[in-house]
Amino acid sequence: MQGCPVHTPIPECMLLYRQGKLDQAGELLLRNNPLSAVTSQVCDWKQFCYGHCVLNVKKVPVRWYEIEQEISEEYLFKHHLERRSRELEGKRVALVGAGPVGIAAAFWLYEAGADVTLLDANPRIGGVLRYGIPAFRLDKKYVDAYEKMFADAGIVFKGGVEIGKDLSISELASRYDAVLVGAGAEKPATLHIPGEEKAVQALSFLKDPDAYELGKKAIVIGGGNVAMDACRTAQRLGAETWVYYRKTFENMPANPVEVEEARADGVRFEVFEAPVEVKDSGVVFRKCENVVPEDGGRVVTRIIDGTDHFVECDTLLTAISEKPDFDLFQGTSAVMNEWGWPVTSESGQVEGLGNVWVAGDFILGPKTVVEAVASARTAVSSILATFAVGFQPVDTE
Ligand SMILES: Cc1cc2nc3c(=O)[nH]c(=O)nc-3n(C[C@H](O)[C@H](O)[C@H](O)COP(=O)(O)OP(=O)(O)OC[C@H]3O[C@@H](n4cnc5c(N)ncnc54)[C@H](O)[C@@H]3O)c2cc1C
Using one digit for the tens of pLDDT, what is the confidence trace for 19-55? 999 999 999 999 999 999 999 999 988 777 887 788 8
> Of all atoms in ligand 1, which is nearest to the CA of residue 325?
38
CA 73, 77, 83, 85 torsion: positive or negative?
negative
Torsion angle in degrees (nearest 10) through CA of 204, 208, 210, 213: -20
DSSP letters for 210-248: GG----SEEEEE--SHHHHHHHHHHHHTT-EEEEEESS-
pLDDT of the residue at 141: 96
Number of the ligand 1 atom closest to the C-alpha atom of 137: 8
Ligand 1, atom 44, residue with closest C-alpha:
120
Q: What is the CATH number of domain 189-321?
A: 3.50.50.60
The DSSP 8-state label assigned to residue 77 in this structure reads: T
Q: Which of 369, 371, 375, 377 to mutate to test the pocket of ligand 1 (most atoms within 8 A of CB)?
A: 369
pLDDT at 397 (0 to 100)? 47
Query: d(Cα 202, Cα 217) in Å, to the nearest integer?
Result: 15
- Predicted confidence at residue 2, as pLDDT, reads 83
Angstrom CA distances, 76 to 110, 124, 142, 185, 188, stand at: 16, 19, 8, 27, 33
Taking all residues of the chain, what is their mean pLDDT, rounded to a whole number? 94
* Separation between Cα atoms, residue 257 and residue 261, nearest integer Å: 6
First vs last C-alpha separation in the chain: 16
Ligand 1: residue whose CA is nearest its atom 21:
128
CA of 203 to the centre of ligand 1 (A): 10
Predicted local confidence at residue 62, as pLDDT: 84
Q: For the chain, what are the domain ranges?
A: 10-76, 92-186+324-386, 189-321
Residues ≥6 apart with Cβ < 8 Å to 264: none
Cβ atoms of residues 181 and 96 within 8 Å? yes
CA-based torsion, 42, 48, 53, 58: positive or negative: positive
Cα(97) to centroid of ligand 1, in Å? 9
Quote the ligand 1 centre to 269 CA distance (angstroms): 26
Residue of minimum CA distance from atom 8 in ligand 1: 42
How do 54-55 and 200-201 pair as beta strands? Answer: unpaired
**What is the chain's length?**
397
Ligand 1 center from residue 204 Cα (angstroms): 13
The residue whose C-alpha atom lies closest to atom 20 belonging to ligand 1 is 369
Tell me the backbone φ, ψ of residue 156, rounded to 5 degrees: -80, 125
Cα angle, residue 53 at apex, residues 47 and 56 outer, rounded to 5°: 145
pTM of the predicted model as reported, rounded to 2 decimal places = 0.94
With a Cβ cut-off of 6 Å, ligand 1 is lined by: 42-43, 96-102, 119-122, 127-128, 132-133, 162-164, 182-184, 186, 203, 206, 225-226, 229, 328, 360-362, 367-370, 372
Judge contact between 243 and 270, C-beta under 8 A.
yes
Helix (H, G, I), strand (E, B) or coil at 317: strand
CATH topology of domain 92-186+324-386: FAD/NAD(P)-binding domain (3.50.50)
CA–centroid distance, 286 to ligand 1, in Å, is 32
Residue of minimum CA distance from atom 27 in ligand 1: 184
* Residue ranges, the chain, pLDDT below 70: 395-397
Are 92-186+324-386 and 189-321 the same fold in CATH? yes
In degrees, rounded to 5, the angle at the alpha carbon of residue 226 between the alpha carbons of residues 29 and 309 is 165
pLDDT given at position 395? 62
